[in-house]
């Protein structure tokens, strides 16, 4: 993701692959601990402490309405031009086909 060419992309677009990898790692550890119960609390806390998973993103996933949040940047309206949210915040029933 870091060596991918960035010519012709906006600044935020060049960061999307990094955010995707970060989300995948965190979601994997979240699912192992909370959904499948395949890892111990000790291993889960170790992964968070060492930076393999994002503690703040997991905290949001546990709250109702934020289960499909792709990154914390999506809920920060100050990072967008028009004070809007990311597409992951739009319910699937409201998306246009």
Domain map of the chain by residue range? 11-94
CA atoms of 58 and 27, how far apart (whole Å): 8
Residue 38 pLDDT level (bands cut at 50, 70, 90): very high
pTM of the model: 0.80
Residues with Cβ within 8 Å of 5's Cβ and at least 6 positions away in sequence, in order, are none
Q: What is the pLDDT of residues 45-93, one digit of tens each?
A: 999 999 999 999 999 999 998 888 889 888 887 777 777 777 777 777 8
């Amino acid at each position: 993701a870091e060596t991918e060419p960035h010519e012709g992309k906006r600044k935020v677009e060049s960061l999307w692959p990094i955010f995707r990898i970060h989300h995948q790692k965190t979601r994997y550890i979240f699912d192992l601990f909370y959904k499948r119960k395949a890892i111990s609390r000790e291993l889960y806390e170790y992964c968070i402490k060492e930076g393999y998973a994002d503690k703040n993103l997991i905290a949001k996933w546990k709250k109702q309405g934020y289960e499909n949040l792709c990154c914390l940047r999506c809920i920060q309206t100050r990072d967008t031009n028009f004070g809007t949210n990311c597409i992951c915040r739009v319910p699937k029933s409201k998306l246009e086909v």
